[in-house]
């Protein structure tokens, strides 16, 4: 008879053999991802699938010329930050990680890319200011990320509906939205949400509420990094949004995700959204009925006369400190900026180069490169190669730089601004004030306290300036 010890030993052996066989089999079947001399890149699945089809082989080819195996992995845009958090916690993963908004929250975990940016500036001149302000921390003097592209965030409006209420060119001020909303309900009752500005915990809402705040004269921080959210300007922005919510929105906007405004506009359930051209390209690709009435406006003006919109996407490539291919990663990022023209075309004009000079005609002198690049960009927008009707429908995008700004305006992006963005402090404030969950004053006080706590945390780490003039 078998003893209990024999039974346990025999059983354990069997399980161990089974587990080892099961584990080893698939390892043999899948590719070996552990070879030396490789560069691993993680980025979002680009809104335009054709972009990924251009980028992935391009990156591989770039590596092949150097005898390096480049692998590109894609995640959904909502998984970009969680994935970064996980890789930092594990201190392993990819070499290069692309962020869509602020990479600043990860500043302490990434290497300084100052030399890569300096190389690019020598080749192409300065990058656009909002890219510089999104990727450089003047307090720590660290170039924590490198931006190859940014995406403008115009207003998208339904021309037929706005024409019916006497505004055929769409709104031009925030006040127009409040005036138009009841009129739109009358002429287009099928539009359940006349003004489709999200107030939820999603990336588009995060941008939209900042636009409203800035155009009313408010901001989270001043240019020196002091927290100034608690201000009459913020209060005015909250009271404005509360009014807009009551006349032009429904509770649906409180639970919108990043795709909701696209879908609402394409389904002709709203007459105005703040978005890049992604919804428009979707309408084009699927020949949706909304297409004939799909038009764009620049950023809206606030009562202060300020006309600003946040970038819709700001690429921020970082190289992790734990990467063993840091120099290679820098070389790759420089090459990516070199390919700015291809990048813009592969993305169907979604990506705008952060270094305008990289889109210049060949052999242009350095001091003329930015101008030449801007002219090439304008030429694409003025005659959309991807079939807009009229062909200059996207022309205003070429002039979007003056009214586009960075997260963190009027200061630079910093880890505190990044954390406030990632934890939706502003969208919560606007939603609470708009729905009456809190009075505008209380919502502002609550958000201001949260913002100060976040800033204080990062100031203790000596990564964020200011503090002496917090309000």
Distances (CA, A) of 256 to 3, 139, 264, 277, 420: 64, 36, 10, 18, 19
Minimum distance, C-beta of residue 365 to other proteins, in the bound complex (Å): 36
Decide: is 462 part of the binding site for other proteins (CB under 8 A).
no
Between 42 and 131, CB nearer to other proteins: 42
Decide: is 30 part of the binding site for other proteins (CB under 8 A).
yes
Decide: is 143 part of the binding site for other proteins (CB under 8 A).
no
Between 262 and 372, CB nearer to other proteins: 262
Minimum distance, C-beta of residue 210 to other proteins, in the bound complex (Å): 17
* Cα–Cα distance measured from residue 429 to residue 230, given in angstroms and rounded to the nearest whole number: 12
Minimum distance, C-beta of residue 114 to other proteins, in the bound complex (Å): 29
Between 77 and 364, CB nearer to other proteins: 77
* Residues numbered 45-64 forming contacts with other proteins, rule: CB under 8 A: 45-49
Distances (CA, A) of 189 to 143, 185, 194, 248: 50, 5, 9, 12
Per rule CB under 8 A, count of chain residues that contact other proteins: 71
Minimum distance, C-beta of residue 42 to other proteins, in the bound complex (Å): 7
Going by DSSP bridges, is the β-strand pair 313-314/149-151 parallel, antiparallel, or unpaired?
antiparallel
**Residue 305 gets which letter from DSSP?**
S
Q: Which of 394, 307, 390, 389 is nearest to 348 (CA)?
A: 394
Distances (CA, A) of 434 to 111, 182, 209, 217: 41, 17, 12, 19
Among 86, 118, 292, 366, binds other proteins (CB under 8 A): 86
Decide: is 10 part of the binding site for other proteins (CB under 8 A).
yes
Decide: is 26 part of the binding site for other proteins (CB under 8 A).
yes
Among 169, 246, 286, 453, binds other proteins (CB under 8 A): 286
Taking residue 461's Cβ as centre, other Cβ atoms within 10 Å add up to 12
Among 57, 232, 289, 390, binds other proteins (CB under 8 A): 289
Instruction: Specify which residues 314 forms β-bridges with.
Output: 150
Decide: is 74 part of the binding site for other proteins (CB under 8 A).
yes
Do 147 and 131 touch, CB atoms closer than 8 A? yes
Considering only the stretches 66-74, 208-216, 325-333, 362-370, report the one whose residues sit in contact with other proteins under the rule CB under 8 A. 66-74
Considering only the stretches 120-128, 181-189, 270-278, 338-346, report the one whose residues sit in contact with other proteins under the rule CB under 8 A. 270-278
Among 55, 70, 71, 218, binds other proteins (CB under 8 A): 71
Decide: is 78 part of the binding site for other proteins (CB under 8 A).
yes
Q: DSSP readout, 79-120?
A: GHHHHHHHHHHHT-S-SEEEESS--GGGGGGB---HHHHHHH
Structure tokens at 140: 């720590």
Decide: is 278 part of the binding site for other proteins (CB under 8 A).
yes
Minimum distance, C-beta of residue 34 to other proteins, in the bound complex (Å): 5
**Residue 438 gets which letter from DSSP?**
S
The length of the chain, given as a count of residues: 471
* Cα–Cα distance measured from residue 56 to residue 173, given in angstroms and rounded to the nearest whole number: 41
Between 145 and 313, CB nearer to other proteins: 313
Decide: is 388 part of the binding site for other proteins (CB under 8 A).
no
Instruction: Specify which residues 296 forms β-bridges with.
Output: 156
Considering only the stretches 42-50, 59-67, 152-160, 353-361, report the one whose residues sit in contact with other proteins under the rule CB under 8 A. 42-50
* Cα–Cα distance measured from residue 112 to residue 316, given in angstroms and rounded to the nearest whole number: 13
Decide: is 363 part of the binding site for other proteins (CB under 8 A).
no
Considering only the stretches 243-251, 254-262, 442-450, 453-461, report the one whose residues sit in contact with other proteins under the rule CB under 8 A. 254-262
Do 211 and 198 touch, CB atoms closer than 8 A? no
Between 15 and 379, CB nearer to other proteins: 15
Considering only the stretches 41-49, 223-231, 379-387, 436-444, report the one whose residues sit in contact with other proteins under the rule CB under 8 A. 41-49
* Residues numbered 168-207 forming contacts with other proteins, rule: CB under 8 A: 190, 203-204
Do 425 and 244 touch, CB atoms closer than 8 A? no
Structure tokens at 376: 């090439």
- What contacts 186, CB < 8 A, 6 or more positions away? none
Structure tokens at 173: 């001020």
Decide: is 323 part of the binding site for other proteins (CB under 8 A).
no
Do 95 and 323 touch, CB atoms closer than 8 A? yes
* Cα–Cα distance measured from residue 12 to residue 4, given in angstroms and rounded to the nearest whole number: 12
Among 60, 83, 341, 441, binds other proteins (CB under 8 A): 83
Decide: is 428 part of the binding site for other proteins (CB under 8 A).
no
Minimum distance, C-beta of residue 443 to other proteins, in the bound complex (Å): 26
Minimum distance, C-beta of residue 135 to other proteins, in the bound complex (Å): 20
* Residues numbered 92-111 forming contacts with other proteins, rule: CB under 8 A: 92-94
Q: Which of 351, 317, 410 is nearest to 120 (CA)?
A: 317
Do 416 and 458 touch, CB atoms closer than 8 A? yes
Decide: is 36 part of the binding site for other proteins (CB under 8 A).
no
Among 137, 156, 268, 380, binds other proteins (CB under 8 A): 268
Between 5 and 122, CB nearer to other proteins: 5
Among 64, 89, 292, 379, binds other proteins (CB under 8 A): 89
């Amino acid at each position: 008879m078998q003893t209990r010890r024999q039974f346990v030993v025999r059983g354990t052996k069997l399980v161990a053999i089974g587990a080892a066989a099961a584990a080893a089999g698939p390892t043999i079947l899948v590719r070996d991802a552990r070879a030396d001399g490789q560069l691993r890149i993680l980025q979002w699945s680009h809104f335009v699938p054709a972009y990924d089809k251009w980028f992935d082989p391009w990156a591989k080819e770039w590596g092949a010329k150097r005898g390096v195996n480049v692998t590109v992995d894609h995640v959904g845009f909502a998984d970009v930050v969680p994935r970064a958090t996980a890789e930092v916690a594990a201190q392993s993963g990819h070499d290069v990680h692309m962020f869509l908004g602020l990479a600043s929250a990860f500043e302490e975990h990434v290497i300084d890319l100052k030399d890569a940016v300096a190389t690019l500036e020598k080749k192409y001149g300065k990058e656009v200011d909002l890219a510089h302000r999104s990727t450089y921390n003047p307090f720590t003097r660290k170039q924590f990320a490198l931006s190859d592209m940014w995406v403008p965030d115009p207003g998208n409006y339904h021309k037929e509906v706005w024409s019916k209420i006497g505004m055929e060119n769409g709104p031009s001020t925030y006040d127009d939205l409040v005036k138009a909303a009841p009129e739109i309900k009358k002429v287009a009752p099928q539009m359940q949400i006349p003004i489709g500005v999200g107030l939820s915990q999603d990336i588009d809402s995060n941008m939209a509420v900042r636009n409203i705040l800035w155009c009313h004269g408010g901001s989270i921080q001043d240019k020196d990094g002091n927290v100034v959210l608690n201000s009459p300007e913020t209060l005015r922005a909250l009271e404005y949004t509360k009014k807009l919510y009551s006349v032009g929105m429904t509770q649906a906007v409180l639970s919108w995700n990043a795709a909701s405004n696209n879908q609402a506009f394409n389904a002709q359930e709203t007459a105005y959204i703040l978005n890049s051209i992604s919804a428009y390209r979707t309408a084009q690709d699927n020949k949706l009925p909304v297409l004939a009435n799909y038009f764009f406006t620049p950023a809206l003006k606030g009562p202060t006369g300020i006309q600003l919109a946040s970038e819709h996407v700001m690429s921020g490539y970082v190289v992790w400190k734990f990467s063993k291919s840091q120099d290679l990663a820098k070389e790759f990022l420089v090459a990516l900026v070199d390919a700015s023209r291809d990048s813009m075309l592969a993305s169907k004009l979604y990506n705008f180069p952060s270094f305008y000079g990289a889109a210049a005609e060949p052999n242009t002198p350095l001091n003329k490169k930015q101008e030449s690049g801007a002219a090439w960009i304008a030429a694409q927008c003025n005659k959309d190669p991807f079939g807009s009707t009229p062909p200059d429908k996207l022309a205003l995008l070429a002039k979007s730089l003056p009214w586009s700004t960075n997260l963190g305006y009027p200061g630079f992006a910093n880890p505190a601004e990044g954390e406030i963005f990632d934890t939706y402090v502003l969208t919560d404030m606007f939603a609470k004030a708009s729905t009456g969950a809190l009075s505008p004053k209380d919502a502002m006080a609550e958000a201001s306290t949260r913002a100060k706590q976040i800033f204080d945390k990062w100031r203790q780490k000596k990564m964020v300036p200011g503090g002496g003039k917090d309000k």
